[in-house]
Amino acid sequence: MDCSDQKIRTQNPRGKAGLFNILLFKYAFNIIYTGTRRNLKMDDIYEVLPNFEASQLYSRMTQEWQKELKTSKNPSIFKIFLRMFGWEFALWGIGIFIAVLFIGDMAHTIVMGKFMTYFEPGTNVTLKEALLYASGLIGAKVVVQLYDNTYLLAVWSIGLRMQIACNTMVYRKCLRLNSKNQNNHGRAVTIITKDIAQLLTVADCAHMLLIGFPKFFVMLYIMYTYIGVSALAGAAIVMATVPVNALLGILISKYRLKTAAQTDQRVKITQEMLTAMRIIKMHTWEKFFSNTIDKRRGKEMKILRIVYYLKAVVFAIGQLSYRFAFYVCVLTYVALGNHVTAEKAFVIIGCFGAFESLLTDYMPNGIPQMAEYKASLLRITNFLMLEEVPTPLSGDIHNSIDRTIDLKGATVTTEGATVLAGISLNVSGGLTVVAGPTGSGKSTLLKLLLHDVPANSGEVNVCGKVSYASQEPWIFPSTIRQNITFGESFNEKRYQRVIEVCALIHDFNALPNGDQTFVSDRGLNLSRGQKVRINLARAIYKEADIYLLDDCLSSVDGRVGK
């Protein structure tokens, strides 16, 4: 929780930039100039543009996700992205199609051929026409470059917004996972660092693949008008590589999923090891855990090696097929008794130059990348489908006059073992204490009331607003006061009463800044007893109808407990 004052930043100049300003990136000149004069500071950073706000993107994606859950048995993140960014994606795709195909490739190739005709002996092209052709070549390059740079920023912005929406969805999902799925946090780390990170360039990659094949047929038609059936010989070789690359893309997707599964296991073990580092150091188990992680990494590297071998094969096929197709095309044309003129030569070179990007970039990189994107979206979808704590039970559970807890024959089974069997309980007020030996299911009972663990059978009804203090204290990096109030409105009288009953006044007097002392990560600058009492104070400060306290005095001494 950020307890600092929110700074009002300078308005982002990109929001009001005109067309000329956008094409030349003039809106970025000021911050670039500042960066050349001195190191940039946080105060130099502009305000986030409204359409990049995490709250807005998360809200929109949540709405679309709920629609997808209601309308489809197999929810798809891809369909959600289409609804959120489809029109924007299509418009920029049409623009790059016109810029690249008609201006950058087709017009450039034809004009280049006409321009080279000027240098042939006995040509009919005048100097004035040659200069016009040269001006056309320069103008086409300028237009393509201006649009291409703006286009790349736009489509990467689409990918960035996809990342922001997915990162927020995954983070919020982690907060709502029930106890059954708590060990999936390592999986969430892998999804954020690998799967979601790939979404930045997905729009650009998809456009290039969609444009690639129309571009191929248009350039093939231009070649056919100049050299006839000889163009088909080279095209046949190009088309023969398409199914091979598609098959290799499917294999890459398959091995990518296997790699991700191994990565999840390795990250999970690493997190568990770091959590228990003190115990590992105490018992000198470092070598054992290091070997365990190395074995997992070895399995992961073995599959990754196969993935990169497949990518290398795809790239090699693209490089070789482009050159071989060009060679076959020219050889066929000459073998048929035709003479190669300068105009035809440069048209063929221009057409195969357009083929080169398809064969050496779009297909070798695009097909494997799209296969990885598909695997990543599947993993994100599966994570978002994990069972979570019911949403209505996270705040005001039931707006009922009677504040009651009612269990009827509730049974909880975890990993094949029955923890609670046929529990029936009715509590309508007052203080209720549940006692029992260690491992008897007391904490599980409280989690059942919070719906943090699902009941395999029976009924669980909780009426009223609930506040909960866990057995293991949870502290987050912020001030102690922020840890206690935890987003609730500050009530001075209630706050003073809470810290009094939780025996925190003496501790605040001993701390350098009292309740404004900043707590480090996991509360390492506090004692165990202090963390337990702050955790308890947070639960008590919240105005609720039902307070669930899980062995909250286990780590305090007898005097403080009384």
Q: 182-192 pLDDT, tens per residue?
A: 666 777 887 88
**Confidence class for position 179, pLDDT limits 50, 70, 90:** low
For the segment 338-346, the average pLDDT, to the nearest whole number, is 79
pLDDT of 451 reads 80
Among the listed residues 105, 360, 375, the one whose alpha carbon sits nearest the alpha carbon of residue 241: 360
In the chain, the number of structural domains is: 4
Claim to verify: residue 148 and residue 241 sit in the same structural domain: yes
pLDDT of 561 reads 55
pLDDT at 202 over 50: yes
For the segment 528-543, the average pLDDT, to the nearest whole number, is 88
Structure tokens at 90: 């299509």
Q: What is the pLDDT of residues 63-106, one digit of tens each?
A: 999 898 888 888 888 899 999 998 988 898 888 888 877 777 77
pLDDT at 494 over 70: yes
Claim to verify: residue 73 and residue 28 sit in the same structural domain: no
Claim to verify: residue 352 and residue 447 sit in the same structural domain: no
For residue 460, the enclosing domain spans: 404-429+437-464
For the chain, percent of residues with pLDDT exceeding 70: 92
Asked if residues 213 and 367 have their Cβ atoms less than 8 Å apart, the reply is: no
Claim to verify: residue 347 and residue 447 sit in the same structural domain: no
Quote the CA–CA distance of 201 and 160 in Å, as a whole number. 9
Claim to verify: residue 20 and residue 154 sit in the same structural domain: no
pLDDT of 364 reads 66
For the segment 535-561, the average pLDDT, to the nearest whole number, is 78
In-domain check, residue 470: no
> Residue 511: which CATH number?
3.40.50.300
- Length of the chain measured in residues: 562
pLDDT at 164 over 90: yes
Claim to verify: residue 181 and residue 222 sit in the same structural domain: yes
Claim to verify: residue 41 and residue 104 sit in the same structural domain: no
Residue 522 exposed, middle or buried by CB count within 10 Å (0-12, 13-18, 19+):
middle
Residue 519, helix vs strand vs coil: strand
pLDDT of 395 reads 40
Between 384 and 455, the higher pLDDT residue: 384
**Confidence class for position 394, pLDDT limits 50, 70, 90:** very low
Claim to verify: residue 134 and residue 156 sit in the same structural domain: yes
Query: Kind and range of the H or E element at 418?
Result: strand 417-427
Other Cβ atoms closer than 10 A to 299: 15
